[in-house]
Amino acid sequence: MNATFETRMDTLPQAARGSQQGAPDTSDPMIEIDHLDFYYGANHALRDISLQIPGHQVTAFIGPSGCGKSTLLRCFNRMNDLIEGTRIGNGQIRIHGIDISDPAVDTIALRRQVGMVFQKSNPFPKSIYENIAYGLQIQGVRDRRRLDEVVEKSLRGAALWDEVKDRLHTSALGLSGGQQQRVCIARAIAVEPSIILMDEPCSALDPIATAKVEELIHELKKNYTIVIVTHNMQQAGRCSDMTAFFYLGQLIEMGKTEKIFTNPVQKQTEDYISGRFG
Amino acid sequence: MPATYPDSAQLKGRDRKISEALLNKKRFRVLGLTPDDVIKYFFQGNAAVAILVLVLIMVFLLREGAGFFGQNLRNLRIYRLAGLEYVDFIKREVEAHTELTRAANALRMRQFDAYLKEGKTIEEANEALAQYDLFATAFGDTVNEVRSIASDMTEAAVAIKEKEQIYRDTLEQKAMLLRAGRSAEAEAVVASSVDFKSEVEALKAMQPAFLAANVEFASKIKAALALGGREPLQAPYMGPFNQLKKHAETYLNSFASVEAQMARWTNDQPIPWYESVTAFLFGREWLTASFWQDWYGVIPLFVGSLLVSAIALAIAVPLGVAGAIYVSEIASAAEKGIIKPYIEFISAIPSVVLGFFGVAVLGQCLRAVSQTPWLSWFPGFPMSERLNSLTAGCLLAFMAIPTIFSLAEDALNNVPRHFKEASYALGATRFQTIVRILMPASLSGIISAILLGFGRVIGETMVVLLCAGNRIAIPDFTQGIGAFFQPVHTMTGIIAQEMGEVVPGSIHYRALFMVGIVLFIIALGVNFLAQRIVKRYRISIG
């Protein structure tokens, strides 16, 4: 099981990425969720969720606080395993066609494929360089030249290189909030995942830093599949291709972003988007 | 419906009420203090009492201890003036000879045991050792003449010292009588000071006799060494025997320097004041209530305390820190609920109970383990003493574990959760996350936990008093690991043991206070360091 998972994980995204050079092929779903039920102890947090997240697009999860959108996001890289008492009751999550809710799945390999950026920017109390290189170092990469390369490439990818290239070896905690969050994005892309999960990445940032991160998300979708949880409706509208609306642990509606924002099918979606509740 | 506005009279009334409420003139007061003030002063007073007590302790310690240096200086001066120092040259020579004799006898014992093991009877063994015994007896007897001269001189020197003591006692008596107003009786008491110069001349008059005896002594030793023959012992013991002979040669060569030292010596060379401080801080001997000369050197106690603490920390740090990592990172909630209270319960065990356990069980067990034949390759095994620094160190480690565990666990728990999540999200294993993220981020907290554990260990008294063996000597570090199995005495132990027996105000009493001050300074330093590190740690986490 692990072997097939690893090999598929290793070969597929590269191949997929290669074919994506031209127009994004949206027909191939990257993440498929079938009738998923999720529990925090006795609390039934996610109810019968089924959806498909297309590759190389930005999918936004919206909904009021406590609706389960972050929980679902953390299911994709099994971060919920770290919280005691959580379990998947029913259903499947398939990434590249592999059911990752299987206990036999190697979460380490999974998390290298599915990167994550957190709500609060959380660089390690180390230098900028060490922050970016960490993901490779724990995989056993010692080659200094390779690390230098990856650090530069990742920082360029996160549109941060020009701002920090002269102080790579100073503490990442000395950067501004927006820069710290981009360090976290650079750190996530340094291990070359195929999917990046973003859990309210801009909620602690000012509008200018937010704009930079949004611009970056737009750039990143060429190479990565992005799932973003946001409370900011405008943000979902601005930077996502698909939007899913959750309410009380259930998926209410999912569709193309412009359709959800202009012509939602469900009454609840319309109410939430127009600000009548939530 | 038109709105009704209050008229101006009503408005004034309301304003007054508000201003009264704000100024609160009717508020309850005791002695002009509001309840808030009372509470504030109550807590302020409590804090002040704590600080005051600490200051009082410091002042008291210093007051009692400070007099030590003056007394010790006089102690050292009399040592020289009364000629004790002079006699000690000879006594050290005699002691060195005793040391060699002891080694020779120990060697005989080993050979004797080996013969018995071979199946020889006691008679046969003694017979086989006849040649060696000739040597050993002769060697042991060589010293007799010098020793008797040494003991004569010892008596003479002690007599001088006693005269000085009597002189000082009479002076004291006189002063007391004068204070009591009985001046007539005080007049009658005659104190005659000691003329050290002439007294010591009498002592030095014995020098020629000693020199003659010493020449005889040397030639007798040479003769005794020749008596041993070529092969008085079996092959495995010939090495130590030749070693012994070599030691005897160097011993003989040292005679010239002893004689030179004695010739140079005079009793009127001044002793500078700082020597009473250095004699305490760097003195390698703690010898009290001796008829000869008291030495108050803190080094053997200090080394004993450090050695025991080092053993304790070497055991407690890995256990405590690893336990903390397990509980904070790996254990399930149920395990946490069991492990934490259990470890914290250890600190509730009275230390005397632990000490009792050490005396009755642990010491015996450790020695039994060290005596098992298949462990004999281990350096220092088998242990000769049941109670030694290892026994005390093991128990102290047990006592330090809760301190280190609790503080290290706090430090680990204080590492923000999102560092850990970020590491896992990058595909790190649990081990990588612990070693590369959690440990560095909580390192200063862990270091301060270790320092506080050290403070706990070095200040512990009861366990070391019961289990460390209480031999006031610097462990013989030339034995390598064996040094850890030797009995020691500690700074805390000596205070507890001797404070009850000393005369208040005496030099011994003040010396114990000085030891207390040294302990106090160490504890203060360790705590200060720990606090500094914790502060830096808070900043680095940001």
Residue of B416, B425, B428 with shortest CB distance to A116: B425
Q: CA B540, CA B442: separation in Å to the nearest integer?
A: 10
Q: d(Cα A197, Cα A69) in Å, to the nearest integer?
A: 12
- From the list B414, B421, B413, the residue with the least C-alpha distance to B541 is B414
A7 contacts chain B (CB < 8 A) = no
Tens-place pLDDT, residues A203-215 = 888 888 888 889 8
Residue in A with minimal Cα distance to B434: A138
Q: Region of B391 please: left (phi>0), alpha (psi -120 to 50) or beta.
A: alpha
Before B382, cis peptide (omega within 30)? yes
Question: Hey, CA dihedral for B289, B291, B297, B299, is it positive or negative?
Answer: negative
Q: Which of B526, B96, B469, B109 is nearest to B300 (CA)?
A: B469
Phi, psi of A122, deg, nearest 5: -135, 55
Kindly state the average pLDDT of the residues B240-268.
Answer: 86
pLDDT of A73 reads 92
Chain A environment of B415 (Cβ under 8 Å): none
In A175-234, the residues whose Cβ lies within 8 Å of chain B are: 184, 187-188, 191
Every domain of chain A and the residues it spans: 5-273
Euclidean distance between CA atoms A156 and A165, whole angstroms = 10
A118 with B426: Cβ contact below 8 A? no
Q: What is the pLDDT of residue B423?
A: 93
Sequence length of chain A is 278
* Chain B residues within 8 A of A109 when measuring between CB atoms: 427
Reported as a pLDDT band with limits 50, 70 and 90, residue B27 is low
Whether B378 contacts chain A with CB within 8 A: no
**Which chain B residues are closer than 8 Å to A134 by Cβ?**
423, 426, 428, 436
CA distance B531 to chain A (A): 21
E runs forming strands in A233-274: 242-247, 250-256
Would you state the pLDDT for residue B2?
56
pLDDT at B540 over 60: no
**Which contacts qualify for A174-177: CB closer than 8 Å, 24 or more apart?**
A175/A123, A175/A128, A176/A209, A177/A121, A177/A204, A177/A205, A177/A206, A177/A209
Q: What is the pLDDT of residue B26?
A: 65
Q: What are the structure tokens assigned to A276, written together? A: 């009548």
Cβ contact, residue pair B427, A187, below 8 Å: no
Q: Which residue has the higher pLDDT, B190 or B309?
A: B309
Q: Within an 8 Å CB–CB cutoff, is residue B334 touching chain A?
A: no
Provide the angle, in degrees to the nearest 10, between the axes of the packed helices B389-413 and B333-346.
140
The C-alpha of A13 sits at a distance from chain B's nearest C-alpha, in angstroms, of: 17
| B426, B435, B438, best to mutate vs chain A, most A CBs in 10 Å | B426
CA distance A123 to chain B (A): 7
Q: What is the 3-state secondary structure (H, E, C) of A10-68?
A: HHHHHHHHHHCCCCCCCCCEEEEEEEEEEEECCEEEEEEEEEEEECCCEEEEECCCCCC
A82/B424 Cβ within 8 A:
yes
Residue B111: predicted pLDDT:
87
Core vs surface per residue A251-273: b (16+ CB within 10 A) or e: bbbbbebeebbeebeeebbbebb
User: What is the phi-psi region of residue B333: left when phi exceeds 0, alpha when psi lies from -120 to 50, beta otherwise?
Assistant: alpha
A108 vs chain B: nearest CA distance in angstroms?
5
Does A122 contact B at CB distance below 8 Å?
Answer: yes
CATH T-level fold of A5-273? Rossmann fold (3.40.50)
Handedness of CA A110, A115, A118, A123 (dihedral sign): positive
Question: Count of alpha carbons within 13 Å of B398, Cβ hemisphere only?
Answer: 21
Which parts of chain A sit beneath pLDDT 50?
A: 1-4, 6-26
Say if the Cβ atoms of B425 and A118 lie within 8 Å.
yes
Write out chain A residues lying below 8 Å of B436, CB-based.
134, 137-138
Q: Looking at residue A278, what is its pLDDT?
A: 53
| Mean pLDDT value across residues B499-527 | 91
**B-chain residues within 8 Å CB-CB of A191?**
426-427
- How far from B486 is each of A221, B65, B295, B450, CA to CA, in Å? 71, 30, 22, 25
Q: Report the pLDDT value the prediction gives residue A137, as an integer from 0 to 100.
A: 92
Tell me how far the alpha carbon of residue A147 is from its chain's centroid.
24
pLDDT per residue over B319-332, tens digit each? 999 999 999 988 88
Q: Across the beta sheet with A98-99, what order do the strands follow?
A: A43-54, A29-40, A86-95, A98-99
pLDDT for the residue A12: 42
Least confident of A188-192, B5-9, B24-28: B24-28
Facing A111 at nearest CB: one of B420, B425, B437: B425
pLDDT digits (tens, 9 = 90+) for B37-63: 889 999 999 999 999 998 999 899 898
CA of B401, closest CA in chain A: separation in Å?
Answer: 28
Task: Return the number of CB contacts < 8 Å for A and B.
Answer: 69
Region B141-162 average pLDDT: 87
Question: pLDDT-based confidence at B222, cuts 50/70/90?
Answer: confident
Cα atoms in the Cβ-side hemisphere of radius 13 Å centred on A129: 12
Amino acid at A68: G
Cross-chain residue pair A115–B426, CB shorter than 8 Å:
yes
Write the pLDDT tens digit of every residue in B467-502. Answer: 988 889 888 888 888 888 899 999 999 999 999 989
Closest partner residue to B426 among A125, A126, A135, by Cβ? Answer: A135
Q: How many residues does chain B have?
A: 542
Position B390 pLDDT exceeds 70: yes
A276 CA: distance to closest CA in chain B (Å): 34
Q: Could you say which residues from 51 to 80 on chain A have a Cβ atom under 8 Å away from some Cβ of chain B?
A: 77, 79
**DSSP secondary-structure letter at A198?**
E
CA distance A277 to chain B (A): 31
Which chain A residues have a beta carbon less than 8 Å from that of B423? Answer: 124, 134
The residue behind tokens 């030590």 is: B68
CA B513 to chain centre: 14
The pLDDT value recorded for residue B418 is 87
Helices A177-190 and A128-137 meet at what angle, rounded to 10? Answer: 20
Q: Name the helix (H) or strand (E) containing A92.
A: strand A86-95
Tell me whether A138 touches chain B (CB under 8 Å): yes
Cβ of A118 within 8 Å of Cβ of B427? The answer is: no
Quote the CA–CA distance of A45 and A38 in Å, as a whole number.
Answer: 6
Q: Is B504 on the interface with A (CB under 8 A)?
A: no
With 80 as the cut, is the pLDDT of residue B157 above it?
yes
Pairing verdict, β B286-287 and A98-99: unpaired
3-state secondary structure B293-310: CCEECCHHHHHHHHHHHH
Q: What is the pLDDT of residue B4?
A: 63
Residues B197-217: tens digit of each pLDDT:
888 888 888 888 888 888 888
Contact assignment for B423 to A187 by CB distance below 8 Å: no
